[in-house]
Amino acid sequence: MKLIYINCDNSSVVEAQVLALLKYYVAGRSFEKVTLLQGFTNDAEKIALEKKLKGFESHVVWFKRWPGYTYFDNLALRSISKALNKIVLDKETIIHARGELYGAILQKYVDRSKCAAKLIADIRGVGFEEVENYYSLNAILRKNKRKLFIESFGKLGRTPLTVVSGAFKTYLVADHQFKASNVCVHPNIAGEQFTFSSSLRNKMRTELEFDNDQLVAICSSGGGAAWQKDKELIIPLISLGVKIINLSSGKVDIPGVINKMVRFDNVPAYLAAADMAILWRDDNIVNNVASPSKLSEFACMGLGIIHNGTVKIAKDYINNANAGLIVTSPDEITAGMIRRFSGYDREDYSSRGRAVFGVENVARSYVQTYQKVLKGLPVSAGVQVSDN
């Protein structure tokens, strides 16, 4: 089996989601060959991506990415076709397209070229609703975006799909009439480096000059998306004697907050130093069906997660694994509630998290799904987090 993975941009999760998965595949020899088709908009973005790809031991094919509007459909198809035409696409080849827009473009390519490769489209979020809730666009562009997403879903009606949560699958089946048997679930992963280590925790807490009994919370939303509301909990937690490590964009100038912007490779050390993590989101469809990358990383590092119940996969995981605290308001959090995080068996909770969100588990499920796609079988399983 050969894998062609198509990623169209330089998002904040390229290292955490795309490269962590592909590196795991390459190291484990899961495929005869792994090829990354990587999109870029301009030279500056390509240079930034090349830095992230340094050390990636697999074949990379570059293609020009065009803006996500219907006006550029033909240019986008031409660009991705030119890249794919450099590759042998036989009956043992899986094309994994990240995102519904490029999934639709790839379905058109497969239909036109009549290639033997099989396609699976990977839908990571409710794109149009994100635009509606969080982006400023004029009426013309908003109408065009709506048309683009509607057309993309129409083209993917018979394409095997993978989505990030059971709630997302339910949404696609109920609201967009996709077949349940054609949709499987794979949450965002945490790479192998997100495994709790007591020695790493002790080293980092010593470096940060934390007392042994000091409770520490992590605020980590490096992408800085508008729906991330983690900072709303900083002052309430500080009032309870908690120190905050802020790994988010934007400095928080409050006593008790340590502001850090660190390389992705260094994030696990700071998560190890903390006792709890903040996952606070707006209550809307964008978050309800999401699978935040930080959730996976927090869970795999064995952190207690403070969440407001707006992300269904997070709420289900916290309840099922007893891995945190769900409250609807910061005012509900008490010293007694968070004190229990100091007694967590981090190795145990790390193992629980890795069993669900670890790259080993999710990658294994992806491979099983690819095999089903090649055989033309239903793909309706995937990773279960009890969120259906």
In percent, how much of the chain has pLDDT > 70?
97
Residue 178's pLDDT is 95
The DSSP bridge pattern shows strands 183-185 and 216-219 to be unpaired
Is pLDDT above 90 for 250? no
Q: Which CATH superfamily is domain 198-357 in?
A: Glycogen Phosphorylase B; (3.40.50.2000)
pLDDT band of 142, cuts 50, 70, 90: confident
Residue 230's pLDDT is 81
Residue 249's pLDDT is 74
Residues 168-192, mean pLDDT to the nearest whole number: 95
Query: pLDDT, tens digit, for every residue of 71-110?
Result: 999 999 999 999 999 999 999 999 999 999 999 999 999 9
Residue 388's pLDDT is 46
Instruction: Estimate to the nearest angstrom the gap between the alpha carbon of 33 and the chain centroid.
Output: 24
pTM for this predicted structure: 0.93
- d(CA 149, CA 106) in angstroms, rounded, equals 15
Residue 386's pLDDT is 65
Instruction: Estimate to the nearest angstrom the gap between the alpha carbon of 268 and the chain centroid.
Output: 16
3-state secondary structure the chain: CEEEEEECCCCCCHHHHHHHHHHHHHHHCCCCEEEEEEEECCHHHHHHHHHHCCCCCCEEEEEECCCCCHHHHHHHHHHHHHHHCCCCCCCCEEEEEECHHHHHHHHHHHHHHCCCCEEEEEECCCHHHHHHHHCCCCHHHHHHHHHHHHHHHHHCCCCCEEECCHHHHHHHHHHHCCCHHHEEECCCCECCCCCCCHHHHHHHHHHCCCCCCCCEEEECCCCCCCCECHHHHHHHHHHCCCEEEECCCCCCCCCCEEECCCCHHHHHHHHHHCCEEEECECCCHHHHCCCCHHHHHHHHCCCEEEECCCCHHHHHHHHHHCCEEECCCHHHCCHHHHHHHHHCCHHHHHHHHHHHHEHHHHHHHHHHHHHHHHHCCCCCCECCCCCC
Residues 343-361, mean pLDDT to the nearest whole number: 95
Cα atoms in the 13 Å half-sphere on the side-chain side of 84: 30
- d(CA 188, CA 200) in angstroms, rounded, equals 24
pLDDT band of 136, cuts 50, 70, 90: confident
Residue 384's pLDDT is 81
Residue 278's pLDDT is 95
Q: Which CATH superfamily is domain 2-189+358-375 in?
A: Glycogen Phosphorylase B; (3.40.50.2000)
Is pLDDT above 60 for 206? yes
pLDDT band of 227, cuts 50, 70, 90: very low
Is pLDDT above 90 for 214? yes
Q: Domain coordinates of the chain in residue numbers?
A: 2-189+358-375, 198-357
Residues 167-190, mean pLDDT to the nearest whole number: 95
Give the residue with greater pLDDT, 133 vs 10: 10
Residue 231's pLDDT is 83
Residue 226's pLDDT is 47
Mean residue pLDDT across the chain:
92
Residue 106's pLDDT is 96
